[in-house]
Structure 1
């Protein structure tokens, strides 16, 4: 399989999984391992194409962003609280991500860690869904700063490959008293600074590998970015509808089954 076709496949995987509580990074790592790719060579690609999925959120929620931007210009308290909460939630990942970068990269090269994390995460989702009562905090601007900081620390669990960033932030928000739709949207918007920061750090760390031809090239990255953007556009609204009707149970069972199958296949290699 050539690199361009691989980029298209991985772009589809990223677009489908970025905002579902199933771990996009974990799926990309497992796809690479099961298809025999060199994980180190595709590592930066896997980070950067996530920006395509993030761009889908910007497009889908452009009215919200425009309202916040114009509100900031006018000094609107609601817009200020909206941005404040996202920045507070972003800080833990920014600090811990830089300090733990080498340890995170080591885990990224261990597909079996991903498979186990998928199963454990699935069980955790089922437990949280059963125990957590419906939250009452509605709207990102209404989330208390302390709750935003708590969501930010919970997001850091996603630095373990196979632990879903969206799943961690959404379920973390639910457990802290945020209602379901607001929890999902908080996760979507928090992804923007988080993934932008991760992409900048990852790109800076792999420029030499790209120049030497030891990493996937800009054409493949561009194609993967575009594919993940288009696919994520279709997935985000579907996801919000599914969660509203059925909760997170279907995704939990998917994680358990997918992790078990991946671990079996990896053990046979």
Structure 2
């Protein structure tokens, strides 16, 4: 990967800012990489793997929740088992589809126009869902019915299209199925852990013999920057969602997608 350290830091900031809000971190990394001249097969690896920094931020921010679940599993606590079951059920569809569509997904990462259109369409979808959904009856991750957890996992598969947003797909899917807004956001955080661990592990295994020392150094720096920024973003995002819903992010998506289309057309 041929990029300056400043470029790597900027991309790490983009990842940390966008991983957990419904605007597509991967889409933003693709567009930012295009703008900064950092687009190649190796940059696609960078985009995937630095998301682990944001995942570490979830583990740190919710460390009491995760340690409580582990302790509950040892005690055979029903709530801990229900939490683990729902995370597993939401993850499995993505694992299967991701394994089958791996090559197609990587190819789309090199097409910025797909990102721009996905941002716009996803923004419109968020506005429609926010307006239509009224009755929210599920108030914890543990009480999501298993069938709905699987459905949310299937909806999450849409996020393999760059620009759709993994968090956006899972949150809107959960919201459509009656999950309260803050809980939907937190469920998307928890699902991110196994999803991104699996994606990064697969990607690193695929490129294990082709990455040089400088590439590993750049990935490490991007990881650290995305971790620090994402840790700061999580609390603010939950506060915005609780007070204002998801409409501000939908409008942002539409504006950014439109600007990106104009810019790409004029190059």
Secondary structure of the 1:123 match is: helix
SS in 2 for 1:64: helix
Contact in 2 for aligned 1:81/1:141 (Cα 8 Å): yes
The equivalent residue for 2:238 is 240
Where does structure 1 differ by over 3 angstroms across 4 or more consecutive aligned residues? none
Question: 1:2, CA displacement in angstroms?
Answer: 4.3
Q: Is the 8 A contact 1:170 1:184 kept in 2?
A: yes
- Matches of residues 8-23 of structure 1 in structure 2 within 5 Å? 8-23=9-24
Deviation at 1:157, TM superposition (A): 0.3
Q: Distance in 2 between matches of 1:47 and 1:38?
A: 13
- Note if contact 1:26-1:161 (Cα within 8 Å) is conserved in structure 2: yes
**2:248 aligned with 1:255, yes or no?**
no
Contact 1:50 1:225 in 2 (8 A): yes
CA contact (8 A) 1:90 1:152 kept: yes
Give the C-alpha shift of residue 252 in structure 1.
Answer: 0.4
Using the TM superposition, give the Cα deviation of residue 17 of structure 1 relative to its aligned residue in structure 2, in angstroms. Answer: 0.1
Alignment root-mean-square deviation, CA: 1.2
1:98 is aligned to 2:96:
no
TM-score (norm 1): 0.96
What's 1:153 paired with? 154
Deviation string 1:207-240 (CA, Å, 9 cap, x unpaired) is 23214x8xx6111111100100000011001000
Q: 2:131 corresponds to which residue?
A: 130
Measure, in 1, the Cα distance between the counterparts of 2:157 and 2:10. 27
Q: Secondary structure at the residue paired with 1:208? A: coil
Aligned mates of 1:235, 1:149 — CA distance in 2: 28
Find the counterpart in structure 2 of residue 200 from structure 1. 201
1:38: how far off?
2.4
Q: Provide Cα deviations, 1:97-123, integer angstroms capped at 9, x if missing partner.
A: 000111111111100000010000000
Tell whether the 8 Å contact from 1:32 to 1:39 is kept in structure 2 after alignment: no
1:222 to 211, 220, 223: 220
Aligned to 1:189: 190
**Unmatched 5+ residue regions in structure 2?**
none
Deviations 1:183-213 (A, max 9, x none): 11100000000000000011111123214x8
Provide the C-alpha distance between the structure 1 equivalents of 2:122 and 2:70, rounded to a whole number of angstroms: 36
User: Any gaps of 5 or more consecutive residues in structure 1?
Assistant: none
Taking the aligned partners of 2:241 and 2:143, their CA distance within structure 1 comes to 21
Q: Matches of 2:85 and 2:216 in 1, distance apart?
A: 35
Q: TM-score, normalised by structure 2?
A: 0.97
CA contact (8 A) 2:16 2:54 kept: yes
Give the structure 2 partner of residue 30 of structure 1. 31
**Contact kept in structure 1, 2:30 and 2:39, CA below 8 Å:** no
The 3-state SS of whatever aligns with 1:225 is helix
> Which residue of structure 1 lines up, in the alignment, with residue 265 of structure 2?
267
- Which aligned pairs between 1:42-81 and structure 2 lie closer than 5 A? 42-81=43-82
